[in-house]
Chain A
Amino acid sequence: KNEVEQSPQNLTAQEGEFITINCSYSVGISALHWLQQHPGGGIVSLFMLSSGKKKHGRLIATINIQEKHSSLHITASHPRDSAVYICAVRGEYGNKLVFGAGTILRVKS
């Protein structure tokens, strides 16, 4: 079993829909990251969470440390949100990240 599991693997949505991507992990962590990767490879860090909830524009990330679970929500989705969204957890020491397999999101207009 992978240390970080993401669901769904693929997601197709209509423009304007509310989107949720889930991440579960099985190890102790100091933080959880949500990353976005567009075609071509560039990765952007969206959120770094160690507790609670963070919001940036139309993106919301939550984490439940007791349940070892995090969600990334996109409100009013847009075709430009189409990308791979990757959950990654960081252990208690250092900066090593362990990654989920990613969720491929396609938003259709």
Chain B
Amino acid sequence: KAGVTQTPRYLIKTRGQQVTLSCSPISGHRSVSWYQQTPGQGLQFLFEYFSETQRNKGNFPGRFSGRQFSNSRSEMNVSTLELGDSALYLCASTLGLQETQYFGPGTRLLVL
């Protein structure tokens, strides 16, 4: 069974642009969570989706948004990029709620 995939793996953007990151969960998994990892703040929770519904949202500004499609694939969007948005963005999928999370390889975003 294929693992969690994330595209693109690397991305360079400039301030003010927007970006869309994609996450395909393990087949059959219905929950997708997104995390941001930076050297200064470590790992922080962004969003959690289950069956196309956002269940939880972290303490990030409204520039960060996401959605989940009927096939459980998920996207997150960051608008009006800032230098501080440079980070590794990870998604993780679970079969249901309250279960082991399987992480994707991450998308490394650099904002110049």
Give A contacts to B, CB under 8 Å. Answer: 30-31, 33, 35, 41-45, 48, 86, 88, 90, 93-102
**Extra A-B contacts (10), CB below 8 Å, given A43-B92, A98-B45:** A30-B98, A33-B101, A35-B103, A45-B101, A94-B48, A95-B48, A95-B94, A95-B99, A96-B45, A101-B42
- C-alpha spacing A43/B36, complex, angstroms: 13
- C-alpha spacing A101/B41, complex, angstroms: 8
Give B contacts to A, CB under 8 Å. Answer: 31, 33, 35, 37, 42-45, 48, 50, 55-56, 58, 88, 90, 92, 94, 97-103, 105-106, 108
Contacts A30-B98, A95-B94, A96-B33: A42 and B103 contacting too (C-beta < 8 A)? yes
Q: Assess the A43–B90 pair: CB atoms within 8 A.
A: yes
Q: Assess the A97–B106 pair: CB atoms within 8 A.
A: no
Chain A contact residues, majority secondary structure: strand
Q: Assess the A99–B106 pair: CB atoms within 8 A.
A: no
- C-alpha spacing A86/B42, complex, angstroms: 10
Closest to A42 in B: B105
Contacts A30-B98, A96-B45: A43 and B56 contacting too (C-beta < 8 A)? no
B18 → chain A closest CB, angstroms? 23
